[in-house]
A and B are shown apart, each in its own frame.
Chain A
């Protein structure tokens, strides 16, 4: 008997089948995924269960109907019946299961787990980052030196010893340069022959002379062998992003409104995370003063005070200058507010945004959260102020939401490639 241990075989043999299955069931899975996301918050990790029922997943075959015609079932475990007894249909278990009823007919439905990447892939499918290129991408200080092969001349410090010696060795072998110990061997042989008075000594002497000559003629290291590391300037793409979360936490923002904002931030974070190697989060909350806080405080602690939006913007500018130089970072910002602001501050807010923030940002999203019954109310001052910016073509997008299930559609709208023109509403 042969025994083969297959446990170490590559895993995921079924992956191609799974991919084909997911492609096939895509429509149903998408619906299910999006429904799931409006119901529950996106979990940070772990798999997501989706339940699909699929017409496109059916595998039809000619089979007999489980209901038509006269059939005989045979079953074990009879304790009470004799031939000729009648069993009413309603009685469950009265042999109804014997025929394996329920085959065919019904459209199947089943639940299975998508792993996190699959889930996010489907969830954020065909969304695109607007303004993906850094605006000042071409400036000189965005370039960096990178290794780019070898060259034959260069500074001594850049000599690649390993490659040089390898080439030297190859050349010596190719040209049959005698090795030092081969010459030593010949010398020893000659000494022995001469001592013994062997007539072959002359021949050995001749071989030794030839070898020495060859040894001298072929250099150990030739200028031909030298190789220097070559460097070239390449433009450096910024692969890190920072996402500023700005939120009004004054008394008018209820917990439900914060929750809406949180959903939006989370989606944006997931989305950015898929596009950039590194994504950092900065949380700034403000009333009439602004403060950088950690995530927990950001969403949960309450504070009282008035509302001055420009304080948050100033804080953001300060942090940007301090920690996130624009040549290394892609900057995104999302602001959530109920639209309240001190009327005198609006002018300043717009000026800060227009002159200092928007030129540096890849994207600025403004989310106005409303009470659920409030969506008929007029536009807030802040909204009107921002709208003017948007009309002037600055990268600012604005949306109003009042219910949880609006978040995802709004998010999709903001980031689907075709919606850019009407992203300003």
Chain B
């Protein structure tokens, strides 16, 4: 260990890495991260991979183990074409929210880049995964790899038993509904005795549900009340995949299990989709601070430091709206900007900061403030709480109104009147709930054709993309096995704006 920590260790510019060097870098960084910055980390497993393997990891949504599906082949083909033609370069690393924390690094990085990657992923992302409330609540880091192994094998077995095409059809349908396969609020946690009680009730309830669903509608029986049906089926339900897995009448057990696998993966990624800005901001800020500390300690020479600054500044580049390279807000740039700003507010606040952030301004503990924010927020709430006028001015943010027809109108810019509006708009921009359609299953027709009814609450006139909706609804009908109807209902006036319906294609499932 003492050899690893010896003082003569130095990273030089464009130096090749060795396994021993990687260990030394990690051991140099760890006391800084854990001691000085107070980060709390999973053990780290670093895996060195080639470019092809990196492309492969990309195309299977970043998981090292994935079941087989044509869409991953498609993604691979596309990424590969972009990469070969030089339109895109590959990521330096991929990190998996697991315990131990898996970090994939590319073989052709230089030692400096590997150090940057370790600082970024093995410390930054790692801390975020382990401490953020969303991840703690929704994901089980130690279970994901074994679960994916199970999923992969299970689906391979299904392919053997039922044919690749049958499995492909169910996966296609499940993928179409994947974004509607997450629970947005946690299901209640209950004690064991309650659970047993509930299990008994559930079995009986299910029996009653099936009887109701399969019973022959009779003229004598009074039409069932909507409230009664909703209670029976646990409606309204926003997790469509969950509902289908539990209640679709015609699915076979293996098909339900596949829906469950897709749903679990969607749920696993749900926190990541809500925390992209914070996650990258945290990792970028951590790598920036760590590398600077190494430089101060003399473990990075000046040439290597320039290499670092070059890489860092291209990661956090934010082209303006009128720049040809503009492709929306760069979460690395904004995330890093906000983290650095928070640290500044905690140490050297201005009068403006004291007015906006009385709780943290001048607290003198930047890492404490950051850790607190990283633990308790997602992107949307983080921005609503911490976006400062300073950052708004730095990025020269402005918001424009777009009604789809007339001219764009500039609503707010980086001035006194605009700060609050911009903060609000930016938070909305990162709010998944606003950018994904809110669709719920609301009713099942028990007196006629077992039709399933869904509702999309339209907010501010934002309707569904028609073509996609038709196709996705077709998949939904295949899974349900009977007609499905979707109504787009204006959230304020309760007026129905558009209706879709789809029937199952019998041969499909």
Residues of A within 8 A of B (CB): 1-7, 9, 11, 13-14, 16-25, 57-79, 81-89, 93-100, 104-105, 110-113
Contacts and interface: CB of A to CB of B under 8 A. Distances in A.
B138 interface: no
A1 B55 CA distance: 25
A19 B104 CA distance: 26
Interface string B357-394: 00000000000000000000000000000000000000
Contacts, number: 280
Contacts of A111: 81
Interface of B: 19, 22-23, 26-27, 43-50, 52-53, 55-56, 59-60, 68-74, 76-78, 80-81, 84, 100, 104, 107, 122, 164, 168, 172, 175-180, 318-323, 326-329, 395-404, 406-415, 417-418, 422, 425-426, 428-429, 435-437, 439, 456, 458-472, 475
B429 A63 contact: no
Interface centre among A6, A62, A64, A94 (most CB of B within 10 A): A62
B73 A62 contact: no
B147 to A, nearest CB: 19
A37 to B, nearest CB: 20
5 contacts: A2-B45, A13-B53, A70-B461, A75-B399, A77-B320
Contacts of B55: 14
B70 to A, nearest CB: 4
A176 to B, nearest CB: 49
A14 B26 contact: no
Given A17-B73, A83-B411, A78 B472 contact: no
Classify the interface of chain B: helix, strand, loop or mixed. mixed
Contacts of B414: 78
B399 A110 contact: no
A86 B23 contact: no
A49 to B, nearest CB: 8
B404 A97 contact: no
B176 A77 contact: no
Nearest to A15: B73
Nearest to A92: B322
A169 to B, nearest CB: 43
Interface centre among A23, A63, A76, A96 (most CB of B within 10 A): A76
A1 B45 CA distance: 6
Contact of A4 (B45, B52, B327): B45
Contacts of B164: 20
Nearest 4 CB-CB pairings of A with B: A77-B320, A21-B73, A69-B461, A60-B471
Interface centre among A13, A61, A74, A113 (most CB of B within 10 A): A74
Contacts of A73: 399-400, 402
B475 A60 contact: yes
A5 B104 CA distance: 10
A17 B318 CA distance: 35
Contact of A69 (B19, B27, B177, B462): B462
B12 to A, nearest CB: 21
A1 B46 contact: yes
Contacts of B48: 3-7
A265 B45 CA distance: 57
Contacts of B76: 14, 17-18, 21
Contacts of B404: 67-71
Contacts of B464: 62-65
Contacts of A22: 73
A410 B464 CA distance: 48
B437 A89 contact: no
A13 B23 CA distance: 28
Nearest to A104: B465
Contacts of A19: 73
A74 B413 contact: no
A65 B465 contact: yes
A69 to B, nearest CB: 3
B178 A11 contact: no
A18 B77 contact: yes
A100 B398 contact: no
Nearest to A9: B53
Nearest to B100: A2
Contacts of A74: 329, 397-400, 422, 425-426, 429
Contacts of A4: 45-48
B468 A63 contact: yes
B73 A104 contact: no
B53 A7 contact: yes
A17 B462 CA distance: 36
Given A62-B472, A78-B321, A99-B402, A2 B80 contact: no
Nearest to B409: A86
A19 B45 CA distance: 31
Contacts of B53: 6-7, 9, 13
B433 to A, nearest CB: 12
Contacts of B52: 11
B321 A85 contact: no
